Amino acid sequence: MAETARTEKREFQTEVKQLLHLMVHSLYSNKEIFLRELISNASDAGDKLSFLALQDDSLFEGDGDLRIWIEPDKEAGTLTLRDNGIGMTRDEVVANLGTIARSGTAEFLRQLSGDQKKDSRLIGQFGVGFYSAFIVASRVEVFTRKAGAPASEGVYWSSEGDGQFELGEAELAERGTRLVLHLRDDEKEFLDSWRLKSLVRKYSDHVAVPVMMREEPAPAEDGDDTPAPAWEQVNAATALWTRGKSEISDEEYQDFYKHVSHDYSDALTWSHNRVEGKLDYTSLLYVPGKAPFDLWQREAPRGLKLYVQRVFIMDDAEQFLPLYLRFIKGVIDSNDLSLNVSREILQNDRTVAALKAAMTKRALGMLEKLADNDAEKYQQFWDEFGAVLKEGPAEDYANREAVAKLLRFASTQTGDAAQNVSLADYVGRMKEGQKAIYYVVADGHRNAVGSPHLEVFRKKGIEVLLLSDRIDEWLMSHLNEFDGKPLQDVARGALDLGELEDEAEKKAHEETDKQFASLTAEIAKILEADVDSVRTTHRLTDSPACLVVAEHDMGAQMRRILEAAGQKVPDAKPILEINPEHPLVQRLNQEGSDERTRDLVMVIYEQARLAGGDNLKDAAAYVQRINKLLLELSS
């Protein structure tokens, strides 16, 4: 190209190479999305320029009419997209079109399997943006010049998507970015104006910057030099959220979602609100259908797109939602904030705090509505984002009731690992006389199901919630009650089933406790170093013993997590409870104390540790003891 000079070759970052390769191979069935992605970038570039021009309108260089132009050239086999947005400097081109800055990308790419269907879904969560051009193009050229920079500082970039790109200088009179896609032979359908126009309307109608294409040419007359037809605007180009709800179709809402989220799949639901009064804003919030790959990374982008009086201000404004709602996507357009807001100002601004409270209520309300109206979709939401929502009661005490309604757990009622029982479901099934909501916490669902603490609940047919996510104990420590019913960890404190036990049962228990008093004292002596105390229990039917955490001590799950993270945890010993109905315990009660008693007590204690999901301090000694007892059995 005449406009370019002095080019050099550069290598893509490894992650870009991998992404390009995977993308071309896995997104071919969804290839038209490249147009949406590129228009989305061009419109963002316009938004960014308008924002900077608020401070310095010379950046418009006398042309404040932002536009995107799309022009197919059948003869050359190229599709050109041009915008007069912010443009890029040379350094920005290298950073934006040669690397992927998002942390965790390398790990994400490693997870991709080569299975096209699965990978295309995963890549959808990643958002391929600019690189999607290579789905349809065998070569992509970029000409770009930053707004306000001289024409001589234009940049030329070109690549065949094969691992390298070319970088050079270009003399560019026009600011903004021009992409020239050299379409692959089998992608020539994207040179057809009708097809392009229908795609623009389908995907980019709501993009606020007008997308221009040539009018259809009049039938050719004799002679070749008919002038190129005039440009016409193809999309509606009104920001979607400024329109009335009743005028917007579901499809338009979904397309707009893809524009703001860079997600490929549909949103599960949305909430669009115009509020006038003390606060004056419009918000459009979405619940995505799929979690992004970096949901658990601290520095992952999150937050809403912020507009002030319809002027774009920033992406990822994280001040409008709490961390536990970080998966929510969308737009907030405020009439109360100043056009000069910066991230710093947002951090301690009273209007922002009020907007955050309002957005939080909206988001929770939207989830509640989804739960009430569409259980299947809500389950899909929960499976993707439930673990994030569980951070809610700790982070946002004021809304803990609203969050509690949204929680879902596995339960002994269903028995499987699916988290689909709400606290309200549980309360609805509570037995007469039952005062508390019971739950057990364990590492992993199987350990929860197998917990010895559940035995008496099974016997009495009382439902227990089965908690096994890492965050569960933390969650429960911030959620003391629901609907006026206390939440009770079945492995914590003395078991008091209250009215669920009748007087006769209580009497009988007191009797047996007396009969076992000397045995518990003896066991306490043997296990002095390991347990705080020993007592009889009536919570067990099949197991000889279990370990219990004292009412106000740290639970076993939290202890393990903190220890694994290298943190010091307070020294607290558990309580050993023995089951007086169990034959082993009854034998112990009859036998005198000798070496064998000691071994049996140790084995019972060690088994209680194992059943509770704890490791043994001395596994070899445990094995030896078991073998010794087995040998005695067979001799």
Ligand X SMILES: Nc1ncnc2c1ncn2[C@@H]1O[C@H](COP(=O)(O)OP(=O)(O)OP(=O)(O)O)[C@@H](O)[C@H]1O
Position among 50, 84, 177, 434 found at the interface with ligand X (CB under 6 A): 177
**Span near ligand X by CB under 6 A; candidates 36-44, 448-456, 479-487, 522-530:** 36-44
Q: Does 553 bind ligand X (CB under 6 A)?
A: no
Q: Which residue has the tokens 């500082």?
A: 153
**Span near ligand X by CB under 6 A; candidates 112-120, 123-131, 216-224, 380-388:** 123-131
Single out the residue of 299, 320, 326 nearest to residue 390, CA to CA.
326
Distances (CA, A) of 185 to 137, 160, 182, 198: 9, 14, 9, 21
Q: Does 329 bind ligand X (CB under 6 A)?
A: no
Single out the residue of 200, 211, 80, 71 nearest to residue 137, CA to CA.
80
> Residue 544 in contact with residue 578, Cβ under 8 Å?
yes
**Span near ligand X by CB under 6 A; candidates 86-94, 105-113, 531-539, 625-633:** 86-94
Residue 56 CA from chain centroid, whole number = 38
Termini Cα distance of the chain: 94
Q: Which residue has the tokens 């789905």?
A: 135
Does the annotation flag 12 for ligand binding? no
Q: Which residues contact 21 (CB under 8 A, 6 or more apart)?
A: none
Position among 83, 255, 384, 489 found at the interface with ligand X (CB under 6 A): 83
Q: Which residue has the tokens 């030099």?
A: 225
d(CA 123, CA 481): 41
Give me the long-range contacts of 397-406 (CB less than 8 A, separation at least 24): 397/478, 399/360, 399/361, 399/364, 400/478, 400/479, 401/482, 402/361, 402/364, 402/368, 403/324, 403/364, 404/479, 404/482, 405/368, 405/371, 406/364, 406/367, 406/368, 406/371
Position among 27, 39, 42, 367 found at the interface with ligand X (CB under 6 A): 42
Give the interface size with ligand X as a residue count (CB under 6 A). Answer: 17
Q: Does 41 bind ligand X (CB under 6 A)?
A: yes
Q: Does 260 bind ligand X (CB under 6 A)?
A: no
Residue nearer to ligand X on the CB measure, 83 or 333: 83
Q: Does 45 bind ligand X (CB under 6 A)?
A: yes
Q: Does 130 bind ligand X (CB under 6 A)?
A: yes
**Span near ligand X by CB under 6 A; candidates 78-86, 150-158, 416-424, 601-609:** 78-86
Q: Does 294 bind ligand X (CB under 6 A)?
A: no
Binding mask 473-512 for ligand X (x = CB under 6 A): ----------------------------------------
Residue nearer to ligand X on the CB measure, 168 or 450: 168
Burial class of 6 by CB neighbour count within 10 A (0 to 12, 13 to 18, 19+): exposed
Does the annotation flag 587 for ligand binding? no
Residue nearer to ligand X on the CB measure, 134 or 622: 134
Q: Which residue is nearest to ligand X (CB)?
A: 129
Q: Does 546 bind ligand X (CB under 6 A)?
A: no
Q: Does 161 bind ligand X (CB under 6 A)?
A: no
d(CA 613, CA 443): 6
Does the annotation flag 457 for ligand binding? no
Q: Does 402 bind ligand X (CB under 6 A)?
A: no
Q: Which residues bind ligand X (CB under 6 A)?
A: 41-42, 44-45, 83, 85-88, 96, 127, 129-131, 177, 262, 315
